[in-house]
Structure 1
Amino acid sequence: MIPNTAVDFLRDHPLLRGIPDGELRNVIDAIKLVSLEDGQRLLMEASTSKDCFIIWQGKVQVTSVNLVGKALLLAELGPGELVGEIGLIRNLQRSASVTAIGQVRALRLDRPSFEYLANLSPLFYESVLVNIRIRMIHSMLRKATIWSVIPDAELRGLAEITMIKKVMKGEEIIAEGAVIDQFLMISSGSIELRGRKRRKIVLREGDFYGETELLTDTVSSHTLIAVEDSEILIMGKLEFLTILDYYAPVRQQLIKVLNIRTPHLMEKVTIAFGEEFIVEDNESLPKAKDKWMDQLLWLGGGFLVLSLLALFLHSQWWKIAALIVGGVVGPVAFVAFVRSQQLVGFRQMRVGLVFVSTAIVAIPLAWYLERIWLFEVKANSFDFSQLYVPLSVALIEETAKLLICVILVRTRKIQFLMDAVVFGAAAGMGFAAVESIIYGWVHLDEASSLGMLAVLWMRALLSPFGHGTWTAIATVGIWYASSMHKNSNLGNGKPWTRWRHALEMFLAAVVMHALWNYRFESGLIKAGAMTLVGFMGLYLLFSLLRRGRREEFHVLNMLNPTTHEAILHDDQVKSMTQELYCEGCGSMSPQGTRYCARCSQALRIK
């Protein structure tokens, strides 16, 4: 039995007034009192309990985990508020957690009692339904994060003008060529975009559609088909444009999305966006990841052990193992370092594929072209004291290494300067690794392993100054040439401007490569020239890294502006230290990012 004061509280509850006392008594007899201490959970998100509660005394926090794993404060509720009714009516898992603030006493209402009250009082049932709709949409909008810059109180008003629509698997939502007057947000399920000339795109929870058509007054370029039973939130065009007019960060965010998805339509945007869209990146750049140190230590330590084994055991197998590990230790560590500077990167497997592909393609091609170009003489008879030979070798090798990069940087996914730097470094170091193994192989059959190991250690130590740096610089030039005409951040895109950048960077790589190989008469001058070339290359490389990181940071800020979300520390939510994987394009984004800077699709934890 619940106390008489609780019974009086229920009789005076606005939603229960008008219910005959005898009928209400039947429900009261089934209600149980629940007492909670500070921090205790009344409801747990994703649980399957089927009760709802009326807060009698105290306050509770309603929290939920957003798509990227952060606990958000959705509401604070006090006496008289109903919690848990969404899961009870919709027969779904709990959509939020409810936690006591201080001491709380709540009255538990099971499903039969709730249904009994609903039959007795249409006012009670209708009021609960209205409340459920607002709370559900508010929670969905908050989790979606596209509206995260809007203060919570105003977001509740937005929930009141947003509709929920259920669509069945296979249902056509929008036809290609249709006029769109609504903004769609995916609440649950999967929606596939099908276009005539474009690859299929799947939108999931947190993604949206219609911003391009509403901002440019164009018809739909896709047919939208539900891949599974789904729910979408719908907002009218007038409401959508009103929000964009009032909230500059949201307007900025969606303009950037448009620039990523359909840059050719930017000139058709019908709303004004001026200098207010220039984001000031006042925050300092995030610290670069240092995982590359692990690879350096493991490979370097392994190479050291294998060197000692090869030196003292004189086994051919130990020599081969040391040769392979010694050939890759410097190049792999260098690529790992460059990749660690990237904020919006690709998976390690893809970078590794560039590393291997360039080695397989560029080494044989360069060897063949050098045989033809340099009069079919043997490599060991090249006279590198004549400028013609090192210049020819540099031109051939840099061109061969760029073949894979040229194919890569012309794809739509390679958007950032840092992409070109990383893939260029991988391509150059793939070439360098095989070249080191070949040089070491020449000394493999010597009586002592010392000559082979000396070559490998020297090339490992000098690897940051060579192929990876040069090819990264040259690849950035190719990226400029292919990207300036389609990226509004890179200038007017005039053909001569684009190709001048490409030519300058390619020539810089060739000249540094040639000077590195040139055989000076004096060893001291040779050392000085190599030092100068090395520092020049690294200076250019680090300048590109800084510029590339700032470019990525700028785009991340535009797509993920500072939010008004109340982020809570929640012991029930696992600490998310890993990067977020984008299912749309395969990019890896920093922790806490909500939208991918490469394709603009919503990110979510697994």
Structure 2
Amino acid sequence: MTRGDRPWHQQAWFRIFWIGLVLWLAAVGVTYWTANANLIPTIVLLGSFLVPVTFASWSFEHSRRENHLTIERILAAFLVGGVMGVLGASVLESYLVHPSTWMYLVVGLIEEGVKLAAVWLMARRLAAHSTLDGIVLGAAVGFGFAAFESSGYALTALITVHGLSLRDLVSTEILRGLLAPLGHGLWTAILGGALFRTARRTGHLRLTGALFASYLGVSVLHALWDSMHGIALALTLVTTGAQWQWRLIDLGYDPRLTNQQAVLLTVYQWIGLLAISLIGLGWLRRERARGRREEAVTGTASPTILGAPPME
């Protein structure tokens, strides 16, 4: 029995989320009331890290696994792996990403590649590997990446031509917080599971055809996610575009959408994001099921957590 089997209100992830949410709301309220710009870093950090830390904790608590992952390794994966991923992606994208039809696919390949490399590094010297361990470690790296990336987007939204915008900062953090569980953490969890499943069979972390296929798959999901606005815009114009809008496109201008088209664009975009999320969640569920079967076959016992004895 794991901690994840306890009532949800007694689990650490639940306390982390609600305490963090209350503190973030308090920071936003006090900043709005006092106009104290010194509190902005507090809002950025709390808002950017709240959901990623919550879900990293949730994935750790809800996985039956051998006692190979410690809280120290999970924390290192979140912080070190997350920073390594962000820095590596930034350097590679500055050289390799250029405006083109395939731009978002290149971004997906780069970011999923650097996160996979970070998981690989964090998995060194583990005594053994299991698919469920890989999912947890991958989720930690992915959510760390998401947290640091979101803090950058939040700061960018804060700075406008009219000065600092608390409203734009808060709205950006809310949106990215809602979408965080369906992005980087999910995709890297899938990659971590695939990496560890290979290592479980061979005894070594290595690149195989199955792992490479998983890498390409999550990169495509990543690319579709990032390009969904453009895809939704294209679908909107194909289904409802007027002749004058197509003429503007031929001249190299972006056509202005009508109110009805703007609504349809939003609908298409959210339907697309939902479809991508369901594919990713279904894929992760299959990975978890494989991990459960592996443990059942090998007779793996439930782990101790933070040095505590196994729960009966």
Partner of residue 180 from structure 2, selected from 425, 450, 463: 463
Any conservation in 2 of the 1:405–1:475 contact (CA below 8 Å)?
yes
Partner of residue 88 from structure 2, selected from 340, 344, 365: 365
Runs of 4+ in 1 over 4 A off after TM superposition: 284-287, 557-560, 578-582
Paired-residue identity, %: 23
Task: State the one-letter code of the partner of 1:463.
Answer: A
1:215-241 deviations in Å (ceiling 9; x for gaps):
xxxxxxxxxxxxxxxxxxxxxxxxxxx
Tell me which residue corresponds to 1:259.
Answer: none
Tell me which residue corresponds to 1:435.
Answer: 149
Any conservation in 2 of the 1:410–1:479 contact (CA below 8 Å)?
no
Tell me which residue corresponds to 2:273.
Answer: 530
Distance in structure 2 (CA, Å) of the matches to 1:589 and 1:507? 40
> Residue 545 of structure 1: CA displacement?
2.8
**Which blocks of at least 5 consecutive residues in structure 1 are unaligned?**
1-283, 376-382, 488-494, 561-577, 583-587, 593-606
Tell me which residue corresponds to 1:307.
Answer: 28
Distance in structure 1 (CA, Å) of the matches to 2:296 and 2:56? 21
Partner of residue 337 from structure 1, selected from 50, 54, 58: 58
Tell me which residue corresponds to 2:218.
Answer: 509
1:101-148 deviations in Å (ceiling 9; x for gaps):
xxxxxxxxxxxxxxxxxxxxxxxxxxxxxxxxxxxxxxxxxxxxxxxx
Tell me which residue corresponds to 2:75.
Answer: 352
1:380-412 deviations in Å (ceiling 9; x for gaps):
xxx5xx541110111111111111211234544
Partner of residue 114 from structure 2, selected from 384, 397, 400: 400
> Residue 579 of structure 1: CA displacement?
4.3
Partner of residue 288 from structure 2, selected from 545, 552, 570: 545
| Greater Rg over alpha carbons, structure | 1
Task: State the one-letter code of the partner of 1:288.
Answer: D
Task: State the one-letter code of the partner of 1:335.
Answer: A
**Which blocks of at least 5 consecutive residues in structure 2 are unaligned?**
237-264
Task: State the one-letter code of the partner of 1:472.
Answer: A
Any conservation in 2 of the 1:409–1:482 contact (CA below 8 Å)?
no
Partner of residue 388 from structure 1, selected from 102, 116, 133: 102
Any conservation in 1 of the 2:48–2:148 contact (CA below 8 Å)?
yes
Distance in structure 2 (CA, Å) of the matches to 1:550 and 1:300? 37
Any conservation in 2 of the 1:362–1:397 contact (CA below 8 Å)?
yes
Distance in structure 1 (CA, Å) of the matches to 2:84 and 2:187? 18
Give the 3 Å change call, closer, same or farther, for CA 342–554 of structure 1 in structure 2: farther
Task: State the one-letter code of the partner of 2:129.
Answer: Q
Give the 3 Å change call, closer, same or farther, for CA 547–473 of structure 1 in structure 2: same
More strand by share: 1
Any conservation in 2 of the 1:428–1:468 contact (CA below 8 Å)?
yes
Root-mean-square deviation (Å) = 2.7
> Residue 429 of structure 1: CA displacement?
0.8
Distance in structure 1 (CA, Å) of the matches to 2:178 and 2:106? 25
More helix by share: 2
Give the 3 Å change call, closer, same or farther, for CA 553–340 of structure 1 in structure 2: farther
Distance in structure 2 (CA, Å) of the matches to 1:355 and 1:324? 14
Any conservation in 1 of the 2:186–2:280 contact (CA below 8 Å)?
yes
1:484-508 deviations in Å (ceiling 9; x for gaps):
2249xxxxxxx9xx82321221112
Distance in structure 2 (CA, Å) of the matches to 1:360 and 1:509? 20
Partner of 1:443: helix, strand, or coil?
helix
Distance in structure 1 (CA, Å) of the matches to 2:222 and 2:271? 15
Give the 3 Å change call, closer, same or farther, for CA 287–322 of structure 1 in structure 2: closer
Distance in structure 1 (CA, Å) of the matches to 2:93 and 2:310? 44
> Residue 580 of structure 1: CA displacement?
5.6
Tell me which residue corresponds to 2:311.
Answer: 591
Task: State the one-letter code of the partner of 2:121.
Answer: I
Task: State the one-letter code of the partner of 2:130.
Answer: F
1:291 equivalenced with 2:7 (yes/no): no
TM-score (norm 1): 0.41
> Residue 439 of structure 1: CA displacement?
0.3
Task: State the one-letter code of the partner of 1:534.
Answer: S
Distance in structure 1 (CA, Å) of the matches to 2:306 and 2:142? 26
> Residue 549 of structure 1: CA displacement?
4.0
Report the count of equivalent residues: 268
Tell me which residue corresponds to 2:131.
Answer: 417
Give the 3 Å change call, closer, same or farther, for CA 413–288 of structure 1 in structure 2: farther
Partner of 2:208: helix, strand, or coil?
helix
Give the 3 Å change call, closer, same or farther, for CA 553–312 of structure 1 in structure 2: farther
Distance in structure 1 (CA, Å) of the matches to 2:84 and 2:105? 21
Distance in structure 1 (CA, Å) of the matches to 2:306 and 2:88? 36
1:491-506 correspondence to structure 2 within 5 Å: 499-506=208-215
